[in-house]
A and B are shown apart, each in its own frame.
Chain A
């Protein structure tokens, strides 16, 4: 993804991206395009290339950010009315890292408001359309970012994955979508959804590009206490620890992630989950999985069947833990300091009630209500605490599974891209779209959505490759075997 010493310029790459964005405007990929600044930055990069400066590994590469990443370029809206007009003074760590390598931010992509959703239909600015079929959803919540890469507007985009929000739209649009190990990539400067499951990742068209982005962005950030000590780059500077000042004992021993996933063997053990191979998964997706399994066997890899009975509770756990954190994280949107404020205000209670009533989408409100309910006194033990216990069991089940195999291969979602409006009236049907992606977030595992062909209706299909914590690099490497 480097333009230095190539027969092109940053300006022409950015011009091309902006032209395509214009051409595909009816897909509603972008909430904001930064035409003028992007071209100015590109010209600057070209000047530096000419001078022979070291311009970085992404010099001149145009990219877009999901519109929940903070940066002073444009308004960070999270596709929610309540953040309408909000311009951030802060730049997210990830955006800084990408720009430091010479990448050029061209715009902000559409999402379900506050990343609540699986179709990008919950956006205050309207849905993003599927790259393969305009009558179908882009998936979500990072729908805009997935479609931007699928339509080849930009070579890569950023996303957030709290329960499948990168992998599912990646699958729906036939691109690569990486959900890194929890804590691999800094969350600083990204509008929080659920702090304990939010993972920051990317959309690309190749595993190689994904590897490059991960090697740039996966590192410990002093501004995010939940980031892990550097592990992605095998030769990374290991001296960069948290300067906490007191003796911070890591919860788990630090390991070299590169070696954690795979034994020194050319044969890889790939697990498939029996419990998922049932009637609820669309036949064409089951077929895609079977095809890939055969392909792997032919290449000499070992296939291991896994029993993972706890996974059926994951979605229920997810829809308790995540709404609780959502309700908490969205408390700050009160109309007092920034963003939208209702003008129907007589007193303080009105400021809160009317601002939040008018500023949040229905799905936001639904999750806030569920979250506050499960945290209420008298219900906490029955819901939140119980859910956290089951979450621990799910984590343990994965740990056991990874004693038997190096990776797990599953569908990303039970269905191919569905029709716009098909599930908007039925929140539970929409939530069920996340049934295969949420357990990975609860366990903090890395997973990569890989393209897996198309349906007979020419709709993209995707599978996900899941590994143990810190096996991110290995997953990306192994994804090449699935191509």
Chain B
């Protein structure tokens, strides 16, 4: 039992993958585009411009809320959050402070721990600044991208759970189809609030907020570091300062950025240009019904079929879970092919976009189970499913083409065995075997395999040999 109990709350910004921005009609997907090419007069805050709320963003927010088992507020409204920075053209961000669209909810971690969601709200992203020697450049492509900010309750008490929470949130949001979930490009960003209190204490300690973490690993490392930093201070009898801290992956440390006293006054005000959002019960329940299967659904479904370790790996890849759901049998075998073969491939990410059909996979697994394909041959055929030349072919056709089909026909195999046993070079081995040297059988099986061009099923061959040399 450690001396201090750690308490963690996480705020997560999720960029929504809508076609257009939250309040303007320009392309919301600026990946690979020139800076400032996806910007409308609304986004660069021309005077006289008014926001137009994107209905798709509302839909995505509602869907995200359902995915977190959250209440959807039938009436929500927007507020303005003011601060000056060149990446914020209006001088305020349109957000939701008082009446957010998503109310309380929860998500369940893989080990069953429930983390409650305090609320989640819709808001617009800011642009991006790039700093150079003596000057900075502004790119507003991201300005106005819809975000939902998901605020957890302080229900997390370890670095591992902090990581698991972020990862599970990422899975849920990508499964729900509301975000591209590209962490490298900041599609999801985490602010982690960490405080320590003596074990058993009733009140929480003073928190530090680590801003803008963009990987699960950084979340885990930053929490571990903060635990060490804060417990050392507490050991020395010092107080923790309420402040914002930044994390560096390179140094593995957090550093102070802004204290509570320096915190900005955002002068929140109701947004007068956007009327409140009214959602009907019908709309809310229709969105709930349209929700795709989520990680928790897949866990329930495959818990008794696929080992937990394998399942948790596979859950990072929604297309694989969808594919497994299409299968009627051999699920475990195919799950193993996914983890041991597909995910080991360098180009596995691209391969996920074009998975073989359930029928192809099913037949492949069936052939392997019937020993028509060796495990090596099964992997070989499986990979050919991704070969543009072969991908439309059945497992059987590919196996034939590759010449890896195992000969299981006993009559045919007996013929081959007879041929081999008639050969002069096997006579000595036959004699040795009969004299009791059992391991010589391996040499004989090898000879038969050679004669069959590798297509014989070795265990069947051995059976036949033992029969004949009795």
A residues bordering B, Cβ < 8 Å? Answer: 68-70, 76, 78, 83, 86, 88-90, 92, 187-192, 194-196, 222-226, 244-249, 251, 324-325, 327-328, 330-334, 336-338, 348, 352, 372, 375-377, 380, 384
Contact = CB atoms under 8 A, between A and B. Distances in A.
B265 interface: yes
Nearest to A80: B47
B272 interface: yes
A190 B272 CA distance: 15
Interface in B273-288: 273-280, 282-283
Given A222-B52, A244-B53, A380 B47 contact: no
B272 A336 contact: no
A324 to B, nearest CB: 6
Contacts of A333: 47
Given A195-B273, A336-B86, A248 B278 contact: yes
A291 to B, nearest CB: 39
B354 to A, nearest CB: 32
B50 interface: yes
B86 A348 contact: yes
B132 to A, nearest CB: 14
14 contacts: A70-B48, A89-B41, A90-B41, A226-B275, A244-B55, A246-B277, A247-B280, A327-B267, A331-B90, A332-B89, A334-B91, A338-B46, A372-B267, A377-B265
B317 interface: no
B267 A249 contact: no
A220 to B, nearest CB: 12
B281 to A, nearest CB: 10
Given A324-B269, A337-B44, A223 B52 contact: yes
B48 A188 contact: yes
Contact of B282 (A86, A247, A251, A327): A247
Centre residue among B46, B49, B277 by max chain A CB count within 10 A: B46
A192 B47 contact: yes
A331 B272 contact: no
Contacts of A76: 47-48
B379 interface: no
Interface residues of B, number: 40
A191 B47 CA distance: 5
Centre residue among B47, B268, B273, B279 by max chain A CB count within 10 A: B47
Nearest to A70: B48
A336 B89 CA distance: 8
Centre residue among B86, B269, B279 by max chain A CB count within 10 A: B269
A147 B338 CA distance: 79
Given A246-B279, A251-B276, 20 more contacts: A86-B47, A89-B41, A89-B46, A90-B46, A92-B48, A188-B49, A189-B48, A190-B48, A194-B272, A223-B52, A224-B50, A225-B53, A247-B278, A327-B267, A332-B47, A334-B91, A337-B44, A348-B86, A377-B265, A380-B268
B335 to A, nearest CB: 39
B85 to A, nearest CB: 8
Centre residue among B50, B51, B275 by max chain A CB count within 10 A: B50
Contacts of A195: 272-273
Nearest to A250: B278
B288 to A, nearest CB: 15
A247 B50 contact: no
A376 B48 contact: no
Nearest to A249: B278
Contacts of B44: 337
B289 to A, nearest CB: 16
A328 to B, nearest CB: 6
A333 B46 CA distance: 9
B272 A196 contact: yes
A226 to B, nearest CB: 6
B212 to A, nearest CB: 20
A338 B283 CA distance: 42
B58 interface: yes
B91 A249 contact: no
Interface string B90-108: 1110000000000000000
B82 interface: yes
A331 B282 contact: no
Given A195-B273, A247-B278, A337-B89, A188 B82 contact: no
A367 B269 CA distance: 16
A328 B275 contact: no
Contacts of A190: 48
Nearest to A197: B272
